[in-house]
Amino acid sequence: MDVFQFREHLVGEYEQFTRIDRKDKGAGGLLLDILCRLTAARAHQGTQGRAPQEHDAELARTAGSTLEQAWLNHVNVHGYRKPDRGQYTIASAKTCADFFYDDLNLAVYIDGPHHETDAQREKDLAIDRALDELGFLVVRFPKEQTRWSDIFKNNTERLYREFFLAAAEAADQLGRDGCVPFQFIVTTTSAPPAEVEKAPYVILELAPGADESLLFKRQLAPELSGFDDAAS
């Protein structure tokens, strides 16, 4: 079966879907009820081999203040990704982050009122510089909880920006005579930084439906290896 025959097979299967009882009369509406409840479902994920409940309990246990616990509550309520660890020591910078995201190398600090003194601000700046030199990202949240949502938003854009700028730096370092030995495609729902909104980058606004709005300007049909053998 070649790729075109496979497409015809999919079309044939799709035609069978038109005979599905979408009102679910045969099951008394049970299946339809399950599907409707799934539309409002939320995924809960643990990390480091922990179940979600264990992950939550560990983070709550390590929260060193009511402000840190309020930050965890803010993360949960707004559906942000939870940190992997709490009270994470970074010995090379002589600091302990309130929370830490492993894969992002991101240290989070929840700064209470004592961080507003000049002496503590100097210490915090020194810690931030040391972490930056070691390749860590640092985000600080003040005691004013009304500012937290904007900080989450701004730092989401920051991570996005740093990825693009890192790719641009790699292109500058590895490219020769205007040629770059790699390509990358990033799909996102937010606009890219202004630095990459010009040549040699290509910015496409994609949308499902019309072929002209797809990445390759056409639908791609899958070709499954070994499918002929299975069919025969």
Q: How far apart are CA 115 and CA 118, in angstroms?
A: 8
Do 84 and 100 meet the contact criterion of CB atoms below 8 Å apart? Answer: yes
Peptide bond just before 192 cis, omega within 30 deg: no
- Least Cα distance to 125 among 112, 101, 109, 113 occurs for 109
The better pLDDT of the pair 101, 181 is held by 101
**CA quadruple 25, 28, 30, 36: dihedral positive or negative?**
positive
Average pLDDT for 109-132: 95
- The confidence score (pLDDT) of residue 204 equals 78
Say whether pLDDT at 40 is over 70. no
Say whether pLDDT at 206 is over 80. no
pTM of the model: 0.55
- The confidence score (pLDDT) of residue 232 equals 46
- The confidence score (pLDDT) of residue 84 equals 92
β-pair partners for 100: 85, 107
Do 196 and 162 meet the contact criterion of CB atoms below 8 Å apart? Answer: no
Highest mean pLDDT among 4-8, 23-27, 71-75, 152-156: 71-75
Give me 191's structure tokens. 């606009």
First and final CA of the chain: distance in angstroms? Answer: 9
Say whether pLDDT at 44 is over 70. no
When pLDDT is cut at 50, 70 and 90, the band that residue 96 belongs to is: very high
DSSP 39-98: TT------STT--HHHHHHHHHHH--SHHHHHHHHHHHHHTPPPPSEEEEEEGGGTEEEE
